[in-house]
Chain A
Amino acid sequence: MIEWILSTFMIVGAALMLLAAIGIIRLPDLPTRMHASTKSGALGTSLIMIAVALAFMDTAVSARAFAIISFIILTAPVAAHVIGRAGYFVGVPLWEGTVKDALKESYDPETHQLHSGLEGKEPRKSVTYGVAESPATKDLEEPEPKKPE
């Protein structure tokens, strides 16, 4: 019985890693390749390590297998984030079919600064837009501080 579970874990884990490799060779640009390789690669290794823990049925081996699983699941997203960030900063070209590049309007490659899009704007005055009586903008105005008697 446990042999069947173990075989299933091994085959599915290896198939996920093969899927990651196919993704890394077929997808068009850096972020999509990372998207393919990190998630299914980490899951494939985790499944094979679960198979190792099931095959040995030993406390020390199981502890090591779960150490590997937790380490891979902790480090794979961090490494992918750091590599993707460095790739964007270096200027790796995106795929020509990219629909949205949300960093493009807020990141300045000259000064290496990332803006939130809210700098330099005055806090909104409701009088400017002629909607002084709107209930949506009324909350934005600060109430006059009352003078103490």
Chain B
Amino acid sequence: MINPLVINITYLMLTSALLLSFVRLAKGPSLPDRVVALELVATIVAGIVGTHAIDTGVASFLDIAIVLALTAFLAAIGFARFLERGGPRDD
């Protein structure tokens, strides 16, 4: 089985990445910056889900990663359409 140290290091790096991208999500100067940070958050959470699937040995967690990637893509497309149509926004 996998060394638990590897799992822990992976969790540590991924949660640090999640924290940093959340900082950008919170303080990003414009709305497209926040959307980019949100997409990176979804990608990192998909990685965390994969790591957790390796850690626990439950393969059903991968379905969550599929749905997460799908909804993140749709959210990015929706935000882009919203920005280009010029809706009311409050950065």
Residues on A lying within 8 angstroms of B by beta carbon are 3, 6-7, 10-11, 13-15, 17-18, 20-22, 24-25, 30, 33-34, 37-38, 41-42, 44-45, 48-49, 51-52, 55-56, 58, 60-61, 64-65, 67-68, 71-72, 75-76, 78-80, 82-87, 89-90, 92
CA distance A21 to B73 in the complex (A): 18
Determine whether the beta carbon of B21 is less than 8 Å from that of A21: yes
Determine whether the beta carbon of B62 is less than 8 Å from that of A11: no
Give me 25 A-to-B residue pairs in the complex whose CB atoms sit less than 8 angstroms apart, sorted by A's number: A7-B6, A10-B7, A14-B9, A17-B13, A17-B43, A20-B21, A21-B19, A21-B20, A33-B24, A37-B21, A37-B43, A42-B43, A48-B50, A49-B50, A49-B65, A55-B54, A65-B62, A71-B66, A72-B46, A72-B69, A79-B76, A79-B80, A83-B79, A85-B80, A86-B84
Indicate which residue in B10, B53, B66, B76 contacts A14 across the interface (CB closer than 8 Å): B10
Residues on B lying within 8 angstroms of A by beta carbon are 1-3, 6-7, 9-10, 13-14, 16-21, 23-24, 30-33, 35-37, 39-40, 43-44, 46-47, 50-51, 53-54, 59, 62-63, 65-66, 69-70, 72-73, 76-77, 79-81, 83-84
